[in-house]
């Protein structure tokens, strides 16, 4: 077991109603120095980004760019309470993701007609939907698959809880319904306001994740095609993705998408590159499955936001295309094994083992860290991290090329959110209870995203089964990207009430129970 050095009352670090905290966390000499060196590293990435004149221009042009000032604060939230290997795992992941997002922004602004206007570069860009696996780009080494929604909405809300509010309002002023999921709604709002960089030879949108996402894709593609003159392919992946009879159709959709990209960019699909990327996807899957195996024991090592945020990025945006993620996978596995051998713990006390299910509140991703530090609830795994388990074919043979279309279809159909919110109650309901047994969990924290129609209909069925199995089921309502509906404290209160009234427990760290962080990033 590891000894926790330095601060142990993390709530004391918050300033009531302020954007930033009182001071940095003290973690003992070695860990504080390490954390500080990583903080300097992040500042260096930001400094390198901002010295490029076109990025300054973009900072002044796009409202959502201001959220990137909060990058160091976001990392501090996710590293809260972490020491030793856990702190190093977190920085390995977060620093790499920050670097990757900085490169994405750089590329977007380079090709953006309003900013860099590099037309030759723009011809090599394929815009990809944020809500899709980027599997159809795994065979195009000379092209860049760039998502505009990832930096403008998805990452922005992780950085600043209020980031999407303006764009949600814009979409509603335009006439979109108020009960649409705030994620696609904010993405539509960015497009309606003309706040998305304009570039690319073509775009590929996907019907993942749901009806809300389809609505926003409709709005965005209309602007792309009719205003910006960028042709859009609609990749329609089957919703009943576990059924054998839909797979032939799913593979054909992948062939069609690839042919569309070839037609509009002039690039040719490269099988060698595809199989190289497939090997890296396999390695990511192998590592993640090993981490999950550890999490089934009393000494989980890669869990909470260390598992969730990294998995989302690694599968969705990366999909084997960036070798640095393979290196990070290796390093994380090494650190996890090291800590596992020593039976280390990431917090002072583990009281409950929980599976986190449903779609998480995006403006409060560090909730998982809070859960551990405040109540000793270990978030062993979460719904979005239970993604692909399959090994893709990796040898370049004629038979494998045929199978590869099915593998890409499999990845696309299993996009991290829709692989559970669609596909029947086996994937959403039955497998949850299987996981509670496998992971020896006594608790399920069930995010109830009030605008997610895919999940809300099954409320009673979740309760019935939890009762039968004797699992503590804690509902946590939220509205994904919109903290005005349920705030961070509103989220915490639902856990606090359950833990005090039903479980009759006192918090491990009472200073975290109530935080006045409504105004904070
Ligand atoms: S959270 Fe639900 S409603 Fe929102 S995009 Fe995902 S599946 Fe759709």
Q: Does the pLDDT at position 40 exceed 60?
A: yes
Burial class (CB in 10 A: 0-12, 13-18, 19+), 504: exposed
- Closest Cα to atom 1 of ligand 1: 452
pLDDT of residue 416: 86
Question: Rounded to the nearest whole angstrom, what is the distance from the C-alpha of residue 25 to the centroid of ligand 1?
Answer: 35
Q: How far apart are CA 467 and CA 512, in angstroms?
A: 29
Closest CA to 74 of 110, 20, 129: 20
Residues in contact with ligand 1 by the CB-under-6-Å rule are 181, 183-184, 209-210, 212-213, 359, 417, 421, 449, 451-452, 454, 480
Question: Rounded to the nearest whole angstrom, what is the distance from the C-alpha of residue 168 to the centroid of ligand 1?
Answer: 15
For the CA of 453, the nearest atom of ligand 1: 3
Q: Residue 225 to residues 200, 255, 257, 418, 457: CA-CA distances in angstroms?
A: 12, 22, 17, 26, 35
pLDDT in tens, 109-147: 999 999 999 999 999 999 998 888 899 999 999 999 999
At 476, the pLDDT band (50, 70, 90 cuts) reads: very high
pLDDT of residue 453: 75
- Closest Cα to atom 8 of ligand 1: 210
Q: Are 420 and 211 in contact (CB under 8 A)?
A: no
The SS3 of residue 306 is helix
DSSP string covering 431-450: HHHHHHHHTT-SEEEEEEET
Q: Does the pLDDT at position 71 exceed 80?
A: yes
Q: Does the pLDDT at position 37 exceed 80?
A: yes
Provide the total of helices (H) and of strands (E) in the chain, helices listed first. Answer: 22, 8
Q: Does the pLDDT at position 443 exceed 80?
A: yes
Question: Rounded to the nearest whole angstrom, what is the distance from the C-alpha of residue 210 to the centroid of ligand 1?
Answer: 6
At 343, the pLDDT band (50, 70, 90 cuts) reads: very high
Beta sheet of 144-146, edge-to-edge order: 144-146, 125-128, 202-206, 232-235
The SS3 of residue 126 is strand
Beta sheet of 352-357, edge-to-edge order: 377-382, 352-357, 443-449, 472-478
Q: How far apart are CA 147 and CA 312, in angstroms?
A: 14
At 201, the pLDDT band (50, 70, 90 cuts) reads: very high
Q: Are 240 and 424 in contact (CB under 8 A)?
A: yes
| The pairing of beta strand 202-206 with beta strand 232-235 | parallel
- Closest Cα to atom 4 of ligand 1: 181
- Closest Cα to atom 2 of ligand 1: 452
Q: Are 169 and 189 in contact (CB under 8 A)?
A: yes
Q: Does the pLDDT at position 2 exceed 70?
A: no
For the CA of 131, the nearest atom of ligand 1: 5
Question: Rounded to the nearest whole angstrom, what is the distance from the C-alpha of residue 209 to the centroid of ligand 1?
Answer: 6
The residues facing 448 across adjacent strands are 477
For the CA of 213, the nearest atom of ligand 1: 5
Burial class (CB in 10 A: 0-12, 13-18, 19+), 109: buried
Question: Rounded to the nearest whole angstrom, what is the distance from the C-alpha of residue 359 to the centroid of ligand 1?
Answer: 7
The SS3 of residue 330 is helix
**Token pair 């996710």 is at which residue?**
78
Q: Tell me what the pLDDT averaged over the chain comes to.
A: 93
Question: Rounded to the nearest whole angstrom, what is the distance from the C-alpha of residue 206 to the centroid of ligand 1?
Answer: 13
Q: Does the pLDDT at position 1 exceed 70?
A: no
pLDDT of residue 168: 95
- Which residue from 188, 452, 477, 478 has its CB within 8 A of the most atoms of ligand 1, so it is best to mutate? 452
Question: Rounded to the nearest whole angstrom, what is the distance from the C-alpha of residue 228 to the centroid of ligand 1?
Answer: 27
For the CA of 180, the nearest atom of ligand 1: 3
Q: Does the pLDDT at position 32 exceed 90?
A: yes
pLDDT in tens, 386-429: 998 899 999 999 999 999 999 999 999 988 888 888 888 889 89
The residues facing 473 across adjacent strands are 444
Strands (DSSP E) along 44-193, which ranges? 125-128, 144-146
Of the listed ranges 14-18, 215-219, 246-250, the one predicted with least confidence? 14-18
Question: Rounded to the nearest whole angstrom, what is the distance from the C-alpha of residue 311 to the centroid of ligand 1?
Answer: 18
Alpha-carbon Rg of the chain, whole angstroms? 22
């Amino acid at each position: 077991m590891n000894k926790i050095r330095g601060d142990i009352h993390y709530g004391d670090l918050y300033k009531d109603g302020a954007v930033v905290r009182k001071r940095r966390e003290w973690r003992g000499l070695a860990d504080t120095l390490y954390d500080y060196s990583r903080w300097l590293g992040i500042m260096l990435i930001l400094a390198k980004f901002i010295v490029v004149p076109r990025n300054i221009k973009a900072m002044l042009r796009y409202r959502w760019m201001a959220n990137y000032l909060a990058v160091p604060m976001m990392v501090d939230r996710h590293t809260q309470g972490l020491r030793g290997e856990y702190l190093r795992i977190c920085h390995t992941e977060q620093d790499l993701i920050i670097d990757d997002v900085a490169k994405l922004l750089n590329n977007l602004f380079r090709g953006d007609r309003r900013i860099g206007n590099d037309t030759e570069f723009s011809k090599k860009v394929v815009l990809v939907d944020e809500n899709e696996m980027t599997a159809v780009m795994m065979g195009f080494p000379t092209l860049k698959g760039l998502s505009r929604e990832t930096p403008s909405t998805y990452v922005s809300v992780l950085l600043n809880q209020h980031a999407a509010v303006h764009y949600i309002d814009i979409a509603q002023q335009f006439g979109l319904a108020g009960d649409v999921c705030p994620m696609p709604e904010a993405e539509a709002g960015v497009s309606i306001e003309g706040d998305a960089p304009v570039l690319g030879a073509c775009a590929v949108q996907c019907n993942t994740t749901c009806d809300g996402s389809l609505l926003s894709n409709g709005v965005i593609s209309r602007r792309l095609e009719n205003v910006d003159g960028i042709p859009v392919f609609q990749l329609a992946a089957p919703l009943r993705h576990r059924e054998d009879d839909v797979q032939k159709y799913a593979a054909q959709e992948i062939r069609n998408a690839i042919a569309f990209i070839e037609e509009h960019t002039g690039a040719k699909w490269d099988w060698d590159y595809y199989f190289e990327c497939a090997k890296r996807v396999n390695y990511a899957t192998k590592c993640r499955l090993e981490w999950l195996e550890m999490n089934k024991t009393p000494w989980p090592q890669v869990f909470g936001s260390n598992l969730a945020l990294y998995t989302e990025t690694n599968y969705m945006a990366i999909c084997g295309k960036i070798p640095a993620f393979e290196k990070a996978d290796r390093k994380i596995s090494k650190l996890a094994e090291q800590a596992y051998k020593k039976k280390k713990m990431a917090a002072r006390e583990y009281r409950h083992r929980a599976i986190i299910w449903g779609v998480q509140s995006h403006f409060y991703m560090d909730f998982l860290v809070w859960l551990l530090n405040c109540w000793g609830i270990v978030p062993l795994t979460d719904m979005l991290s239970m993604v692909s388990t399959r090994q893709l074919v990796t040898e370049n043979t004629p038979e494998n090329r045929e199978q590869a279309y099915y593998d890409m279809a499999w990845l696309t159909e299993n996009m991290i959110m829709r692989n559970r919110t669609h596909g029947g109650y086996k994937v959403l309901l039955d497998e949850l209870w299987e996981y509670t047994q496998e992971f020896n969990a006594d608790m399920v924290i069930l995010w109830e995203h009030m605008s997610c129609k895919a999940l809300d209909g099954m409320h009673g069925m979740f309760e019935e089964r939890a009762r039968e199995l004797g699992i503590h089921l804690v509902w946590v309502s939220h509205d994904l990207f919109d903290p005005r509906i349920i705030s961070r404290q509103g989220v915490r209160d639902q856990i606090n009430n359950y833990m005090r009234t039903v479980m009759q427990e006192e918090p491990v760290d009472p200073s975290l129970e109530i935080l006045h962080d409504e105004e904070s990033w």
